[in-house]
Structures are given as C-alpha cells and as structure tokens.
Amino acid sequence: MKNITVLCGGMGGARFLQGLRHGLAEGTLPGVAPDATITAIANTADDLWMHGLKICPDLDTVMYTLGDGIDSERGWGRREESWSVKDELAAYGVEPTWFGLGDRDLATHLVRTQMLEAGYPLSEVTEALCRRWQPGVRLLPMTDDRVETHVAIADPDSPSGRRVVHFQEYWVRLRAEVPAKTVVFVGLEAATPGPGVVEAITEADLVVLPPSNPVVSVGTIIGVPGVREALHDTDAPVVGLSPIVGGTHVRGMAQQMLTSIGVEVGAGAVARHFGARSAPGGVLDAWLVDERDADQVADVEAAGIACAAVPLMMTDHAATAEMAAAAIRLVSSPPGATA
C-alpha cells in the first residue's frame, strides 16, 4: 500500500492520523510501504465566520496536531496560547464571548481570511498554511464551497418551538447539553468535492473512516455530492473504526448527533448506518469495534461488512497505530480471519 486516505473530523481524526503516521514511521503497518503517503480529507462544515474571520476548526485541529502546534490538553487551538484579544473583545461587549479565539490562533484566521478575500480557494489557503506546519500528511478540505452545520434545538419562545444555532454554538456555548432536534448542513447539496478529493479516494490503496463523528464529521464529508460515489467506486478497501464504544461516544457529541438522526448509539448501528459497499449507497467493506462491543461483530457481518473486535482506545500513538494495523489486517485477510 502506498496511498492511504483518511476522512476525518477534528480531534478524533487528528489523533488517529498521529497514530497512523507513527505506525508508518515505525514500519508497523502491515503491507504499507515506508514511503507511503497519507491524505487527510477534513470536514469543513464546522467552519464559521466570526469577527470577520473565517475559522476552520477541523482543518486547524489536524494541522496544529500533526504540526505539533496544538494545545494537547484542550485538543484544539494553539499551545502556549494567550487570550488578550478575546479579553479586549469582551471588554467592548462584543459577542460572541463564548468562543475561545486565542491570540496565536487569530494569526491563522487572519492569514486565511486575507487569502480567501484575495480569491484563493480554501484548498490553496490550507496548502499555504501547511507549508509552515508541515503536518506530514496532505490535508485537503472536503470542499472549497461554503458548508455549515446548523443544529435545531427546542426554543419555547419561538412560534415554531425551535431555534437553529450554528454547530459551534451548539457544541461550545450549549456544550451539546440540549437535545438536537435535527441537524442541517447548509450548502451541502450545492457543494462540490475540493481539488484532489475524489482522486484521493479513487486512487487510494486504502480508505479509512477514523473514529470521528459519524454524523457531523465523516457523515458530512460523505454527504458532499460525488464523495459517496467515489467511495462506492474506488478499488481501495474502505474500513471504518467505531467512534461508539460500549454504547457511548468516547469524546465529543456523536451520541447526541446519532440520536438526532434516529440512529441507535451503538458500534454496530453506526456501521449499518454507513452501509455495506455491496448495498446501494453503502460505503464500508469492513468495520472495527472495540472489544467491549464484540457481541456486535456478528450483526455487522450480517450486514455484509467484515468486522473484528479490537482495543479501540487511542491512548497513545502506538495504541492508535495498532488500531490502524488491525484495520489493514481486516481488509487484507480472507473473510473470517482474525484481525
């Protein structure tokens, strides 16, 4: 294998990519050439305009994490960050005050916004920013078009009984503590895959859906018209790793998002949600569940998706690399073999 493509969100996707890169460097990925390339196709629907600046949380989390600029405690934003601008904005009473814009992070948004306003597409902006950060993977926005995830929540004061908030307000200000009635992906139907996205899937030797949010991260990428078709058509095996362990998400808000689209919060249910590639619209050849969900392996296999139960906690780079190796073994071995 020389070309591995990963469809990823923010923190979960970035951690998986760190482990995959570690496994590549250590030579512990079976059948993967030492000079293999990793392409990360990142979700851009968490993006938002704030204070006149374009903020791309998932692209930045992958770029900072792999470029060693991330604050690993928070999992987002820059290490050694300061918050003077945020404090000054608050002193002026400028909203929103609930979103943490750090001084160092602001430089990224200023550069990106200047380039976008000069006419560069997000893909070229991302390439330029990565020249500084050298993430060691090719980082592609899923689309150069504007797509935003908005969440409808209950609002007794509104005539419809609902109010729609941007995903970031749902996640950061509301801490995903209110039920999501429905999730809308503004602009998704009109979006086209970013430069290199379809080729990164159709020309891959392996495509991985890491344990990112299956609805608002991986799901959004698959929702870009043309991406699902590319996943269906690629000669590469497509393998996913369950973001749900023991009936709940490890981090983030996958549980709330799955519930809002009527999908059971289970490792097997997510696999069936993505569907077997042999089924119309399905994308998966194989699916890894955590050992705690070993009882769901048969259910996933019955859906036409190869499945194995392995440790799925990304506790460190070596553990994550082992997860990637198990995924590769699952799609490289004949059916029924252990991963």
Residues that bind ligand FO1 (CB under 6 A): 9-11, 46, 55, 57, 60-61, 76-77, 99-101, 105, 168, 171-172
CA 72 to chain centre: 17
CB of 236 to ligand FO1, least distance (A): 26
Q: What is the SS3 assignment for 225? A: coil
Token pair in block for residue 161? 């009984």
Q: Is 187 exposed, middle or buried (0-12, 13-18, 19+ CB in 10 A)?
A: middle
CB of 232 to ligand FO1, least distance (A): 26
* Residue found by looking up tokens 């300061």 in the block: 82
Q: Which is nearer to ligand FO1, 59 or 324 (CB)?
A: 59
Strands (E), 187-272: 206-209, 238-241, 244-245, 248-249
Q: Which is nearer to ligand FO1, 257 or 306 (CB)?
A: 257
CB of 98 to ligand FO1, least distance (A): 7
Q: Which is nearer to ligand FO1, 77 or 135 (CB)?
A: 77
Q: How far apart are CA 277 and CA 259, in angstroms?
A: 24
Q: Is 160 exposed, middle or buried (0-12, 13-18, 19+ CB in 10 A)?
A: exposed
Q: What is the SS3 assignment for 330? A: helix
Q: Which is nearer to ligand FO1, 57 or 223 (CB)?
A: 57
Q: Which is nearer to ligand FO1, 219 or 282 (CB)?
A: 219
For 306, phi then psi, to 5°, come to -60, 145
Q: Which is nearer to ligand FO1, 36 or 174 (CB)?
A: 174
Q: How far apart are CA 227 and CA 7, in angstroms?
A: 10
Q: Which is nearer to ligand FO1, 168 or 320 (CB)?
A: 168
CB of 290 to ligand FO1, least distance (A): 21
CB of 221 to ligand FO1, least distance (A): 13
Token pair in block for residue 141? 């926005």
CB of 137 to ligand FO1, least distance (A): 18
Q: Which is nearer to ligand FO1, 162 or 173 (CB)?
A: 173
Question: Which residue is closest to ligand FO1 by CB?
Answer: 100
Q: What is the CA radius of gyration of the chain?
A: 19
Q: Is 103 exposed, middle or buried (0-12, 13-18, 19+ CB in 10 A)?
A: middle
The CA dihedral of 280, 286, 288, 292, to the nearest 10 degrees, is: 70
Contact assessment for residue 306 and residue 285, using Cβ atoms and an 8 Å cutoff? yes
CB of 47 to ligand FO1, least distance (A): 9
Q: How far apart are CA 231 and CA 202, in angstroms?
A: 7
CB of 329 to ligand FO1, least distance (A): 29
